[in-house]
Amino acid sequence: MKAVDNQYYQMLLEIQTIDFVLVELTLYLDTHPWDTQALQQFNQFAQARKPIVQAFEAAYGPLSGFGTSVEVGETWRWSQTPWPWQV
């Protein structure tokens, strides 16, 4: 497993925090689809997540496979460790 620096953990925690909020808002919106404030919050967090994920993946590799993460560079980095769930 490759060594990771402190910034790796900070960025990953920020992404995980935003993902938690998005999951909770998704569950809420499933039962309250008319709540425009919740929908606005969901969209704000979804937009805020994009540049953080892009910066993380550019520095440390993809967060997920199956086409949801774009490979940056000339090598397939998904097979390189550590994966986000290993830290």
- Rounded Cα distance between 29 and 67, Å, is 26
Q: What is the pLDDT of residue 69?
A: 54
Region 26-52: mean pLDDT is 92
Task: Give the position of tokens 């990953």.
Answer: 12
- Using alpha carbons, select from 8, 6, 1 the residue that is nearest to residue 58: 8
pLDDT at residue 24 tops 60: yes
Q: What is the pLDDT of residue 33?
A: 87
% of the chain exceeding 90 in pLDDT: 51
User: Regarding predicted confidence, which is higher, 11 or 65?
Assistant: 11
Indicate the range of 17-21, 28-32, 40-44, 79-83 predicted with least confidence. 79-83
Please report the DSSP string for 21-67 in residue order: HHHHHHHHHHH-TT-HHHHHHHHHHHHHHHHHHHHHHHHH--S--TT
pLDDT at residue 15 tops 70: yes
Burial letters 50-64, b for 16+ CB under 10 A, else e: eeebeebbeebbbbe
